[in-house]
């Protein structure tokens, strides 16, 4: 149940809001993104939904095109725009963490630069925040704009994550609003392998959802082909659950059980003089068990690799340059 005192306090004064936008090679989408997000923020300020200290933080994740040049140019023309350039590409999740770390606002909204997520939901998210929600998820309720392949793989993705024990909101990517308290708690998670969609629900704060239908990408190409979706699934599963290791244990137990039953059967057939020497059955058994062992070693190796990376405690990213705001690094 939402605290009435929190709701009353949040209604009394407009909060400051930062919109964090991770960018990677978004030269085609960025002009429209700047126009739409800039106009949205200006309207929210004029309607006193948020205060004038609000801004948009673009995070250039080591783009190879002129994305950063566009961000710098926009920040020099508007006080509502600021930018952060990472020294090299560190992935969407690290870029998002970098943007959240830069923000000092009362609430932070994260959204992708392609603006397939409906920016009109930001106002609805603010309404939910004022009602007492510290986390507001943007959830898709219509996938009609997706191809059949995209819909099918997305459904498989969420189903697999759920079965593997990852607690996340279905049909929610990284379009969400978080209060200052929720952001600060999220930043306390120091692991290298961050799967933010699965970590945010673990915070446990009051949450709600706003629903929307996704639009076509405004420009450029999708940054999440099937290869990256598989990589994201592996990252989320191995970062947040040990279910695959338990499945390996169950598989090992089942294999041993089958082996014992097979041995009993072989002995019984030998005693009765029905044993037939067969090359095929032996080869099938060897290949099957060899494949199972390699698969299990691969899963275990994935976990060991993550442990290896975590023990080094390397920084997630380095900031090469900041543009706009109070501080600039050039």
Within this chain, do residues 292 and 213 fall inside the same structural domain, yes or no?
A: no
Within this chain, do residues 198 and 300 fall inside the same structural domain, yes or no?
A: no
Q: For residue range 39-81, what is the model confidence (pLDDT) as tens digits?
A: 999 999 999 999 999 999 999 999 999 999 999 999 999 999 9
Query: Which residues is 137 bridged to in the sheet?
Result: 176, 209
Within this chain, do residues 136 and 173 fall inside the same structural domain, yes or no?
A: yes
In this prediction, residues 96-110 reach a mean pLDDT of: 95
In this prediction, residues 295-321 reach a mean pLDDT of: 82
Q: For residue range 246-261, what is the model confidence (pLDDT) as tens digits?
A: 787 777 777 777 777 7
Number of structural domains the chain divides into: 2
Q: Which of 6-10, 81-85, 300-304 has the lowest mean pLDDT?
A: 6-10
Residue 27 belongs to some domain of the structure:
yes
Within this chain, do residues 222 and 255 fall inside the same structural domain, yes or no?
A: no
In this prediction, residues 216-244 reach a mean pLDDT of: 67
Residue 93 belongs to some domain of the structure:
yes
Decide: residue 91, CB within 10 A, 0-12 exposed, 13-18 middle, 19+ buried: buried
Within this chain, do residues 115 and 41 fall inside the same structural domain, yes or no?
A: yes
pLDDT confidence of residue 219? 59
CA distance 25 to 181: 32
Residue 237 belongs to some domain of the structure:
no
Residue 267 belongs to some domain of the structure:
yes
Residue 306 belongs to some domain of the structure:
yes
Within this chain, do residues 319 and 302 fall inside the same structural domain, yes or no?
A: no
Which helix (H) or strand (E) segment holds residue 52: the answer is none
Q: Does residue 170 or residue 321 have the better pLDDT?
A: 321
CA Rg value for the chain? 25
For residue 150, what is the domain's CATH number? 3.90.550.10
Nearest 10 degrees: Cα torsion 263, 266, 267, 273: 180
Within this chain, do residues 9 and 124 fall inside the same structural domain, yes or no?
A: yes
Flag whether pLDDT at 114 surpasses 50.
yes
In this prediction, residues 3-20 reach a mean pLDDT of: 76
Q: Does residue 280 or residue 152 have the better pLDDT?
A: 152
CA distance 175 to 172: 7
pLDDT confidence of residue 287? 67
Within this chain, do residues 53 and 120 fall inside the same structural domain, yes or no?
A: yes
Flag whether pLDDT at 104 surpasses 80.
yes
Which helix (H) or strand (E) segment holds residue 112: the answer is none
Within this chain, do residues 102 and 13 fall inside the same structural domain, yes or no?
A: yes
Give the whole-number percent of the chain exceeding pLDDT 70: 82
Which of 176-213 are b and which e, b meaning 16 or more Cβ less than 10 Å from the residue's Cβ?
A: bbbbbebbebbeeeeeebbbbbbbbbebeebbbbbebe
Q: For residue range 136-148, what is the model confidence (pLDDT) as tens digits?
A: 999 988 766 666 7
Flag whether pLDDT at 191 surpasses 70.
yes
pTM: 0.76
Domain region containing 198: 4-226+314-323
Q: For residue range 251-287, what is the model confidence (pLDDT) as tens digits?
A: 777 777 777 777 777 677 667 766 556 655 676 677 6
CA distance 199 to 195: 6
pLDDT confidence of residue 6? 57
Within this chain, do residues 169 and 45 fall inside the same structural domain, yes or no?
A: yes
Question: Which position has the token pair 């990376």?
Answer: 309
pLDDT confidence of residue 9? 61
Within this chain, do residues 308 and 179 fall inside the same structural domain, yes or no?
A: no
Within this chain, do residues 294 and 185 fall inside the same structural domain, yes or no?
A: no
DSSP tag of 229: H
């Amino acid at each position: 149940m939402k605290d009435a005192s929190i709701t009353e306090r949040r209604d009394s004064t407009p909060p400051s809001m930062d919109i964090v936008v991770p960018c990677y090679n978004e030269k085609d989408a960025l002009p429209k993104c700047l126009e739409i997000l800039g106009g949205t923020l200006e309207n929210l300020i004029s309607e006193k939904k948020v205060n004038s200290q609000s801004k948009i933080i673009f995070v250039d994740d080591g783009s190879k095109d002129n994305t950063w040049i566009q961000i710098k140019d926009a920040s020099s023309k508007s006080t509502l725009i600021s930018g952060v350039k990472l020294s090299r590409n560190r992935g969407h999740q690290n870029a998002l963490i970098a943007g959240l770390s830069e923000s000092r606002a009362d609430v932070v909204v994260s959204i992708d630069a392609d603006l397939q997520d409906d920016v009109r939901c930001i106002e609805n998210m603010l309404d939910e925040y004022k009602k007492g929600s510290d986390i507001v998820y943007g959830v898709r309720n219509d996938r009609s704009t997706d191809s059949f392949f995209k819909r099918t793989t997305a459904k498989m993705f969420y189903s697999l994550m759920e079965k593997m024990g990852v607690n996340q909101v279905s049909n929610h990517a990284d379009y969400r609003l978080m209060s200052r308290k929720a952001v600060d708690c999220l930043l306390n998670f120091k692991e290298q392998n961050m799967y933010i969609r699965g970590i945010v629900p673990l915070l446990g704060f009051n949450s709600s959802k706003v629903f929307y239908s996704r639009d076509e990408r405004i420009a450029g190409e999708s940054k999440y082909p099937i290869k990256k979706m598989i990589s994201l699934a592996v990252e989320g599963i191995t970062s947040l659950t040990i279910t695959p290791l338990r499945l390996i244990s169950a598989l090992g137990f089942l294999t041993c059980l089958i082996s014992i039953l097979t041995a009993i059967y072989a002995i019984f057939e030998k005693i009765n003089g029905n044993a037939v020497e067969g090359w095929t059955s032996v080869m099938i058994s060897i290949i099957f068990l060899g494949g199972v062992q390699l698969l299990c070693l691969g899963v275990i190796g994935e976990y060991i690799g993550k442990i290896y990376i975590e023990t080094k405690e390397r920084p997630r990213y380095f900031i090469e340059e900041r543009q706009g705001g109070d501080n600039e690094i050039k």
